[in-house]
Structure 1
Amino acid sequence: MAAALALSLIAACTASGGDDAKPAPTSPAPHSAAPAGGLPRGVILRHSTHTWADGRTARVHVLTVAPDAAAHVTGVHGAHLATAETVREMADRVDAVAAVNGGYFDIPTGADHGGYPGDPLGVYATGGTLLSEAAAGRTALVVGPGGTAPRIARVWTTLSLTADDGTLRELDGIDRVPGRILGCGGAGGDVLRSTGRAHPAPLHNRLCVDSSEIVRFTPQWGAASRPGAPGTAEAVLDASGRVTGMRSPAGGPIPRGGSTLYGIGEGARWLTAHARPGGSVTVETRAQDAAGRSLLAPGVSLFGAGPGLVENGTVALDPAREGMSARSLDERAPRTLAGIRADGTLLLVVVDGRTSASVGATLREAATLVAGLGARSALNLDGGGSSTLVVSGRLANRPMDEKAKRSVERRVATAIAVVR
C-alpha cells in the first residue's frame, strides 16, 4: 500500500493566508516548458500524474536535494519584507537553480490584511537572522548550510530587550505592524480581536491584537517603519545597540546596519524611560524546538507553516494543535509540501490543482503521499494560488489562481531556494 497509495494522495490548506484566505493579486504567467537538465549533482526533479482513490488525478512535481548535493538550501524573500514578489523573481535574485514558495503571509485579499503583503506569518529566518517571530508551537522547516541536515520541528521564539540600566522587557515581534498579530500565538497580552479574550495559542488566519507592544524593525523590512499615532515612540539603534536617536510619534528611516524599536502603549513608555539617546539596548532573539534546543545558527533558515503531516515515517495530522480548522483535512487545493528522508534528503513537493486534469490534494492525501515518498517527517507549506516551483529560471508546475481561473504567478513573502 506504500508507494502506490502514497503516490495517490496529497494535502490541504489554502493559499497564502491559509484555509480561509481569498485569492491574491497575481501576475499572468503562461506555463513554461518543463526545465531540462542543468541541475547540480544531487538535485533531481521528477514529474508524475497520480490517481486518487476517487479516480481524480493530479500532477505532482518532486524536487529532491541529497545531503551531499552540490548545492545548499536557504530562505529568500522580496527586495524588502514589506513587499511580496513571485518565486521566480526571488530565485533570480539569488541565482537559485530551483525554488518553491515558503510559508504563509499577510495576503492582500485577507479580511485582516495589515497593508504589507510581504509580511511572513509565523517564524521566518534566513542566514541565521530571525526576521519574524514564531506563532507559538507551529511547525517549521529548518534548513542550514551545506552538510547541515534539514529538520522539521515545532518552533517557539523568545525575544527580549535589556536596557543599560539593567531593566528587562519582552520584545513582542520583529518586522511587522505593532499591535497586530495575524495568526495569533504571540507574546505578552495578545487578545483575539473578535472576542477581546486572551489567546496565546496560534489561530490560523485570525487576528489577535495587543495595545502595548515593542516591535523591532530591521533594514530587511524596508527603508522606513510606518508612521505612528500620537503617543507612540521609536528608538533608533546602531549595529552595537547604541541608541542614536528617539522619535515620537514613531515612524521613520531604519538605519543600515542598525534597527529601530517601535513602541505603542506601555511599550512606548518603556522606550522613553529606558532607551535614551547615548545609552544602549541589548536585543536577544532565540528560536527553539519543543525540547528547548536552539535552532538559530549561522546560515540557518526557518520557514513556519503547517500543519505537520508526517512524524517518524507515519501520517500524523493534528491541525487543531496549530490553530487550523478540521475541515482543512479534506479540502482539495494546490499544495506545496516539504519532507525529509531518513538519510537527510530534502523533498520539495508541489501538487497542481484547480483544473479537471489536476485537482490538487487534501491534507490527508498529502501526508500519505510524502510518507510514501520516503519522508520520515513532513509538513504542509503555503498552498493554493501560492504553490509554485521554479527550476532553472522557468516554471516547472502550473500555478493556478482560483478567481482568475488561469495560470498565474502569485506574489508571495518567502521562498525556499536551492543555490549552488
Structure 2
Amino acid sequence: MLTVLVAWTSLVAGGTAWADAAPRHILRLKSLARVAPGVTYQQFSLTASHGRAYGHLLTADLGSPSVSLDLLYPGAVAARSAVSRMADRAGAVGGINGDFFNITETQHPGVDATGAPVGPSIANGRRLGAAVPDGQRFGPSMPPGATTRDVIGVGTDRTGRLDRLTLAGSLTAKGRRLPLRGLNQYALPVGGIGAYTSAWGTASRLRATCGTDTDRGAPCSTDTYELTVKRDRVSAVAQAPGRGAIASGSVVLVGRDAGARELRKLRVGDAVSVEERLTPARPGALRFAIGGFPVLRDGSPPAGLDDAVAAVRTAAGLGGQGRRFYLMALDGGPDYRSGLTVAELADVMRQAGADDAVNLDGGGSSTLVTRAPDDAHALVRNHPSGGSERAVPNGIGIFVRT
C-alpha cells in the first residue's frame, strides 16, 4: 500500500491558492492494478472533515496511441442507462458517470423529466447538445465564474483540456435571420428558439418551455410553438411541443414566448435554413466533451469552492499537460456516506496528479466501472449510494485499441 500525505487546507480569503498548513489527513492509495495497456485502477481511503471516505481511481495514459476517451451515452441525449451497460455497449475498458441531469420535475405537474444532461456534450466529434441556462441546472451550487457551458474533454490533437462550449447558430426564413438559443437541451432561455434533432431521442420537448433563466421551478410558458423542418422546408406545425422520434435529416424547432411568436410567422412549405455549432473558447476542435464545473485550474482551486457540505462525488481530471486523464468516484451506501466537500474533492484530485479537474454528478449517480479486454461485462468497482447503479444520461469511457 502506498501512503501519500495530503495537506487539507482552507482557501486564502479572496484568493485562489492553498493556504500553508501541516498535513492533517492521509490519503492511502492501494497498489496499482493494470486494467489494460495504458490504463490503471486504484482504490483509496482517507479521513476527511466529515469522516472516513473511500474511493476509486482510473488513470488513462493518452500518450499511448492505443488509449482514447469518449462520451458514454445511451444513443440519445434524452435517455438514461447504467454506466456498466453503456460501457458494455461501447466496448469501454473503464468509465464513470458524467454530467448532472434533469432528474425530476416535481415543480411542474404533468411535465415529464427528460433525463437530459445540464451541459454540452460531444461524442466522437459529433455535437449532441448544448447547455441549459445556469438557473435551470440541477446539482450543487457552482463557484463564482463557473457556468453550465464548462466542459472537460479531449481535442482532435488527443490532448485533454478544460474548455467552454457556446452554442452558435441561427435559422433563416423569409429573409430574416434569428439566433438559435438551444440544441437538444431540456430548458430553453426565455424568448428563445431551440433545435431538436434525431439525437434528442423520443422524450417530450415540453420541459424545454418550463422555468426561467434564473428559476428552474418557475411555471411553464403558456406561449409556445413548434414546427418541423424537412429538406429545408416547414413540413408541420403545432401549438405545443411534442414527443416521439425525430427523423434523421429533420429538425424540430421549439419556441417559447418571443421565440414562439417568431415561429408562428412561418407556414407549411416555407423555406427555412437551420445552422448550429458548438464553439470552444480555446483553439482547436474537441473530439469528446462532457459538462462539469471546474474545481482545479492549473493546479489551484477557484475561489468559492464549498468547504462545508460533504457528499459522495465523482470527478474527472487532467495531468501531464493534458496527456493523463483521471476518473474518480467515491463509495456510497450506508457504510461510506461521509463523502467529501467540493474543496476536499479538489485536493484529492490534485494529490492524485491532476492539474485541472471538474466536479461531475455525485450521490446516487456516482459509479466507476472497469472491464478486462477479454471480459464480456464491466464490473462496478464502487458501492453506489442506492445499493445499485442509477440510470444516468452520459459518462466518460476509456477505450483501448488492440
> Which of the five TM-score ranges fits, normalised by the shorter chain?
0.7 to 0.9
Distance 1:51 1:112 in 2: 41
Matched residue SS, 1:385:
helix
1:194-251: CA deviations, max 9, x gaps? xxxxxxxxxxxxxxxx2x331211112214754799964333234xx61250312243
2:114/2:204 contact within 8 Å kept: no
Report the AA paired with residue 336 of structure 1: T
Equivalent position of 2:196 in the other structure: 217
Tell whether the 8 Å contact from 2:61 to 2:67 is kept in structure 1 after alignment. no
The structure 2 residue matched to 1:262, chosen from 233, 237, 254, is 254
Relative distance call for 1:294 and 1:234 in structure 2 (3 A) is farther
Structure-1 separation of matches of 2:227 and 2:336: 55
| Contact 1:218 1:260 (8 Å CA) reproduced | yes
Secondary structure of 2:5's aligned partner: helix
1:338 aligns with 2:316: yes
Identify which of 267, 282, 307 aligns with 2:274: 282
C-alpha displacement of 1:338: 1.1
Tell me which of 35, 44, 51 is aligned to 2:40.
44
> 1:23 matched to which residue of 2?
none
CA deviation profile, 1:354-395 (whole Å, cap 9, x unmatched)? 544563211121111111122111111111111100111110
Q: Which one of the candidate residues 382, 394, 399 is aligned to 1:414?
A: 394
How far has the Cα of 1:273 moved from its partner? 2.8
In the alignment, is residue 105 of structure 1 matched against residue 84 of structure 2? no
- Check conservation: 2:155, 2:285, Cα contact below 8 A: no
Q: Shift of residue 106 of structure 1? A: 0.8
1:140 aligns with 2:151: yes
User: For the residues of structure 2 that align with 1:103 and 1:399, how far apart are their CA atoms?
Assistant: 16
Please say if residues 124 and 134 of structure 1, whose CA atoms lie closer than 8 Å, have aligned partners that are also in contact: no
8 Å CA contact 1:40, 1:71 repeated in 2? no
Structure 1 residue 304 and structure 2 residue 291: aligned?
yes
Q: What letter matches 2:346 in structure 1?
A: A
- Structure 1 residues 257 and 351, CA, compared in 2 at 3 Å: closer, same or farther? same
Q: Is the 8 A contact 1:224 1:254 kept in 2?
A: no
User: Separation in 1 of the partners of 2:174 and 2:283?
Assistant: 28
Q: Counterpart amino acid of 2:237?
A: R
Q: 1:337 to 1:230 in 2, by over 3 A?
A: closer
Q: Equivalent residue of 1:120, what SS?
A: coil
> Is residue 351 of structure 2 the alignment partner of residue 372 of structure 1?
yes
TM-score by length of 1: 0.72
Extract unaligned runs of 5+ from structure 2. Answer: 10-31, 135-145, 210-220, 372-377
Instruction: Please name the residue that 1:151 is paired with.
Output: 161
Say if 2:402 is the partner of 1:391: no
Shift of 1:278: 5.2
Cα gap change, 1:359/1:119 in structure 2, threshold over 3 Å: closer, same or farther? same
- Identical-residue share of aligned pairs (%): 26
**Alignment CA distance shift 1:219-1:295 (3 Å):** farther
Instruction: Give the deviation of 1:103 after TM superposition.
Output: 0.8
SS in 2 for 1:91: helix
How much has 1:156 moved relative to structure 2?
A: 4.5
Partners of 1:368 and 1:38 lie apart in 2 by: 24
In structure 1, the partner of 2:62 is: 67
Task: Work out whether residues 84 and 412 of structure 1, in 8 Å CA contact, stay in contact via their aligned partners in 2.
Answer: yes
- The runs of 5 or more residues in structure 1 that have no matched partner are 10-35, 182-186, 188-209, 320-327, 402-406
RMSD: 3.2
Distance across 2 between alignment mates of 1:246 and 1:294: 39
Kindly report which structure 2 residues correspond to 1:3-402, keeping only aligned pairs within 5 A, or say none. Answer: 3-5=4-6, 39-52=35-48, 56-69=51-64, 70-108=66-104, 111=107, 115-128=112-125, 129-133=127-131, 135=133, 137-138=146-147, 139-144=150-155, 148-153=158-163, 155-177=164-186, 180=187, 187=189, 210=190, 212-223=191-202, 225-226=204-205, 232-238=224-230, 242-250=232-240, 251=242, 253-274=245-266, 277=269, 279-289=271-281, 293=282, 296-297=285-286, 300-306=287-293, 308-319=294-305, 328-343=306-321, 344-356=323-335, 359-392=338-371, 393-401=378-386
Asked if structure 2 preserves the Cα contact closer than 8 Å seen for 1:338 and 1:346, the reply is yes
